[in-house]
Amino acid sequence: MIIIDNMLAFRAASGNPIKVGMIGAGFMGRGIANQIINSVPGMKLVAIANRNLEGAKRAYTETGIEDIQTVNTLIDLETAIASDHYAITDDAMLLCQAEQIDALIEVTGTIEYAAHIVMKAIAHRKHIILMNAELDGTIGPILKVYADRAGVILSACDGDQPGVQMNLYRFVKSIGLTPLLCGNIKGLQDPYRNPTTQEGFAKRWGQKAHMVTSFADGTKISFEQAIVANATNMTVAKRGMLGYEYKGHVDEMTSMYDVEQLKELGGIVDYVVGSQPGPGVFVFATHDDPKQRHYLNLYKLGEGPLYSFYTPYHLCHFEVPLSVARAVLLQDAVMSPLAGPKVDVVTTAKINLKAGDVLDGIGFYMTYGQCENSEIVQTQNLLPMGLAEGCRLKRDLDRDQVLTYDDVELPQGRLCDQLRAEQNAYFFPAKNLVLVK
């Protein structure tokens, strides 16, 4: 959104920058900090919360900031911000409560921890930018209900592939076409990858092995496409998505999809492996007007019926500050659920599992995630991938078997389970008897 640059320049010239807090200071968090501090006039990253204080400090020092204060109370945080100092803390709730902070960037990649953060931030009427498709794809719709009630923006971010798809989708709709497929381009898809197989790649790029594994085993892209579906009312054509392998350009793939099927499904989210321009995104769309189809053919988009639009890159942390500006200055969400979930990510056994096993987390050794239409998830009582960690198995399960709630004992007292129950009751009342509080 080009208008954002002028609006930020005005805030900079006025000496009134958008004040941002960030929760999480890992690989992506450090990139966001560097981007805001060194490349975004009109915005100031006033505080970073991280469970490891050294990580929060590192995020600042790598940008050249040395004037860092460790704070343990809300008063200390407010004083540091008012005094134009940069603050770090291991208590994320302080950032959620600070009156001087305009918006929060949540970049922890967690579910339970992040659920507490988002609910506290909403209670204190903070705009929230999520770089956390896992949380969004698990309980995003009910979090959006709470955010709407509080009058704040809860949004996914520009730069990451879901946000890039959504910007392209909005553009395609704005010029009069009907999007029927939102696609994500992958270089690799192997559901049996694990942190051991991905250790070398992770070390090369300074990332965590389990995070890299979640990309390779398909869990991450499943969460990403689920939140695109929830923001567009699209579905998936089958469990796990179609996931074609194609070595050419995505422009050449328009004939591989059945247009009538896409229309009947209300549009789909999907991914392709090995295509160009990797690692970009694409939208396939139709146009009902033969006069406009003639122009599209003239402009080298072909004869249809599907027309290909693509963005050949996604720049992750570089664009996240733009998402903050859109929320604060324009009350515009990059992407958020339209209503209830359309697509969920379901827990699938990566190996043969035994009764009594306690499931590990996303991107580890025991499970991977697949997209499934939410109506089926409700009907079959399937276990969301975002809730699987810490669950104890009641019975043996074979590799590639999708888990149900009946297969596991949930950990006690988790907010994420409570919110998921509320989400089910709110959006699928006929199938759920849990009362929404």
Q: Domain of residue 355: give its range.
A: 343-427
Asked if the structure places residue 57 within a domain, the reply is: yes
Give me the pLDDT at residue 201, please.
83
Per residue in 96-150, pLDDT (tens digit) is: 999 999 999 999 999 999 999 999 999 999 999 999 999 999 999 999 999 999 9
| Same structural domain, 50 and 148 | yes
| Residues 184 and 198 reside in one and the same domain | yes
Task: Specify the DSSP class assigned to residue 256.
Answer: G
Question: Is the same domain home to 45 and 179?
Answer: no
Q: Cα 260 vs. chain centroid, distance in angstroms?
A: 29
> Based on the domain organization, do 306 and 189 belong to the same domain?
yes
> Both 71 and 108 in a single domain?
yes
- Its sign, for the CA torsion 131, 281, 362, 205, is negative
> Could you tell me if 79 and 155 lie in one domain?
yes
Contact 405, 420 (CB under 8 A): no
Cα 262 from Cα 240, distance rounded (Å): 16
Q: Taking the mean position of all CA atoms in its chain, how far away is CA 53?
A: 25
In a domain, 258, yes or no: yes
Q: Which two tokens stand for residue 37?
A: 């501090």
Do 310 and 321 fall within a single domain?
no
Query: pLDDT tens, position by position, for the chain (437 residues)?
Result: 679 999 999 999 999 999 999 999 999 999 999 999 999 999 999 999 999 999 999 999 999 999 999 999 999 999 999 999 999 999 999 999 999 999 999 999 999 999 999 999 999 999 999 999 999 999 999 999 999 999 999 999 999 999 999 999 999 999 999 999 999 999 988 899 988 888 888 788 788 888 788 888 999 999 999 999 999 999 999 999 999 999 999 999 999 999 999 999 999 999 999 999 988 999 999 999 999 999 999 999 999 999 999 999 999 999 999 999 999 999 999 999 999 999 999 999 999 999 999 999 999 999 999 999 999 999 999 999 999 999 999 999 999 999 999 999 999 999 999 999 999 999 999 877 544 43
Question: 437 lies in a domain?
Answer: no
Domain assignment present for 173: yes
The DSSP letter of residue 37 is H
What percent of the chain clears pLDDT 70, i.e. is strictly above it? 99
Residues 285 and 255 in one domain: yes
Statement to judge: residues 137 and 24 lie in one domain: yes
Q: Are residue 100 and residue 191 in the same domain, yes or no?
A: no
Domain assignment present for 432: no
Name 370's bridge partners. 346
23-65 pLDDT per residue, tens: 999 999 999 999 999 999 999 999 999 999 999 999 999 999 9
Evaluate whether residue 133 is within a structural domain.
yes
Looking up residue 393, the CATH number of its domain turns out to be 3.90.1210.10
Are both 141 and 204 inside the same structural domain?
A: no
Contact by Cβ (8 Å): 419, 115: yes
Q: 154 with 180, same domain?
A: no
User: What is the number of domains present in the chain?
Assistant: 3
